[in-house]
Amino acid sequence: MTMARAAADEPRPRPRLRYGTRRRRAFALLAAGLLAVAVACSGEAPEQRPATRGPAVHDTGRPEPGPYPVRTRHVSTAEAKGAFRGGTLHYPADERDGGGDESGQDGKGHDHGVIAASPGLGAEESVVTPYGKLLASYGFVVITINTKTLDDSPSRRGHELLDALGYVTGRSPLADRTDPDRLGVLGHSMGGGGALFAASRDRNIKAAVGLTPYAERRDWPRVRAATLLIGGSGDEIAPVKQHAAAFYEGLDHAEEKEYLELRGDHFVATPPGRLVGAQVVGWFRHFLDGGDGKDDRQSSPDGGSGSGSGSGARAPLCPPPHSALVTASRDTCPFDRPGRTGDR
């Protein structure tokens, strides 16, 4: 055997992957998972499907809208100065728009709180648009954004959410209606990871919501904002043990935090059903508008409010509603219902 042949037969060491390569592979796997979900939703049955456990339960019904009529305004990429790929402003109408509160404010003597919302990997703004409309009907100015690229990382989405908040409160046509000290962020999937990243960078963000959030990091020691995390028990794209539930445990310094696990997959919270909509609205109403925790959450069929009719009755913010939809929940909220026995 020649030396050349012997050298050729020797096993070669595998090259070490750089961080960027690992991250691209992670994104590719996530994208593949999203594509598989899209195919399933299109009606084309895949060759194999995971077995479902228990009866099918869905968060049915539309969220109860708030008292404000809602207006929208398109935001171009140029207006955003390239910081994000444009989006839509959703805002409560006032007398300047031909309706709403005569003072132009939210009835509490100050301007509206502001929320920025980001979609996840491969998704457009339309995924979070329903939240923009819903939250605006409760008195918030909301910007739903398109990210610069569809495969932006969670940290990049976080920067874009921060830029979007800066745009709304600083130079948008609605800037004079907003309160820059009452900021919130919301995101789905990698957008949820982006919401956590944004909250870790800006102390003016008082509330954050992650919908089946995805991120590579688990600990969020710099997040001070009150944080609501909603996961899906059957989520195979962002499994709760590695993402939503792990993030909850990693929020050591959040003002308050809540983890709500629902029976469903990666899209269990998009679009919002009645239960999820009630929780998200209640979270922002309390932590941005300063509610007392006793009447912040909308009523829902399983919300334990005693109404269930969508008549406007309220239920305590915490603990989460008792429902067949809820498979697990944990929170640090100080607002209790009588008879609470702790984490579910």
pLDDT tens sequence across 109-146 = 358 999 999 999 999 999 999 999 999 999 999 999 99
Quickly state the pLDDT bin for 197 (edges 50, 70, 90): very high
d(CA 233, CA 225): 25
189 is catalytic: yes
Q: Does residue 275 register a pLDDT over 50?
A: yes
At the top level of CATH, which class does the domain 70-270 belong to?
Answer: alpha beta
Q: What percent of the chain has pLDDT over 70?
A: 66
DSSP state of 201: H
Find the catalytic residue in 94, 266, 286, 329: 266
d(CA 178, CA 128): 21
Q: 82: Cβ–Cβ under 8 A, 6 or more apart, which residues?
A: 148
90 is catalytic: no
3-state secondary structure of 88: strand
Per-residue model confidence (pLDDT) at position 116? 99
Per-residue model confidence (pLDDT) at position 323? 82
Q: What average pLDDT does this structure show over 68-79?
A: 97
Contact status, residue 145 vs residue 116, Cβ threshold 8 Å: yes
231 residue type, one letter: G
Q: pTM of whole model > 0.85?
A: no
Find the catalytic residue in 118, 155, 172, 189: 189
Find the catalytic residue in 235, 289, 296, 302: 235
